[in-house]
Structure 1
């Protein structure tokens, strides 16, 4: 397994962990937020949650990014529902491992309220948790609690990646 999606609700640390994990493992990291169509960013910035139709083109782009990437590649993407992860896998045309950054609502709320340069408002936290479906037993990946130091998260995920063929 050499391609990964760093997933979780907004504010869980996908960008921070992606950058740190990239430095620790040498795998390239791409922030999936950069792949969002402008309309999606405008909608979320206005406090309107995305629906499945809004997400479909974005998820296709995430999957295509993975499909065209060399081995040793990670994309940060919320990938909240099983069907979203299936869409990514279909577009990527290969198995992808999902690294789920999991955190309690209170931890996420605190982190999101401290962010200053992101389009996702704290008013969308409830919609993020409502959409979140944990990884199924048949999905490749792992779940890690984000309520610990970044170094501990990166060490654990690096060990997972090393054990899965990066």
Structure 2
């Protein structure tokens, strides 16, 4: 989980490969209207996100083995909705980085529907996971493999 440009897709796919898991990009579950809205530079509202978050939880409810799913899950209530829809334990990995790092990454990527102009709305909406959530926060200011190493090591701890 994390703001756009934090590396959810790259880290999620690499973590899935490391763990022998499946990876699903939550962006693939967005309805076309959400994609169009973001492409126009308009942030999604909670009402826009709700059906998408339901789909995310439903996909987590019926994985075949371990499923790593990249999803912004910016607010606690979004994570709570995903957890309740999944009906099973969900571990959130918050990929955390500075606004400057995220802006540089977003400026460098091509072909994504999320424009860099939405960075501020992402950070404004972000509620980092609280201590009582089943979550960990990992700094992304490192190569993907180092980030994956940190996550894999944390997941192996009791």
TM-score (norm 2): 0.97
User: Paired residue for 1:85, among 75, 79, 98?
Assistant: 79
Match of 1:49 in 2: 43
Deviation digits for residues 66-123 of structure 1 (CA, Å, limit 9, x no counterpart): 0011341110000000000001001101221100000000000000001111000000
Q: CA RMSD in A?
A: 0.9
Aligned-partner SS, 1:60: helix
| Alignment match, 2:122 | 128
Specify the SS of the correspondent of 1:29. strand
2:41 and 2:65 map into 1 onto residues whose CA distance is 36
Query: SS at 1:17's partner residue?
Result: helix
- Long gaps (5+) in structure 2: none
| Aligned-residue offset at 1:161 | 2.2
Q: How does 1:128-147 map to 2 (within 5 A)?
A: 128-147=122-141
What residue is the counterpart of 2:15 in the other structure?
21
CA shift at 1:149, angstroms?
Answer: 1.5
Give the SS at the match of 2:88: coil
Is 2:33 the counterpart of 1:39? yes
> Which residue of the other structure, out of 138, 149, 154, is the alignment partner of 2:148?
154
Flag structure 1 segments of 5+ consecutive residues without an equivalent: 1-6
Post-superposition offset of 1:139:
0.3
Quote how far apart the aligned CAs of 1:64 are.
Answer: 0.1
Partner of 1:4: none
Structure 1 length-normalised TM: 0.93
3-state SS, counterpart of residue 75 of structure 1: strand
Match of 1:66 among 60, 63, 66: 60
- Which stretch of structure 1 is more off in the superposition, 29-38 or 153-162? 153-162
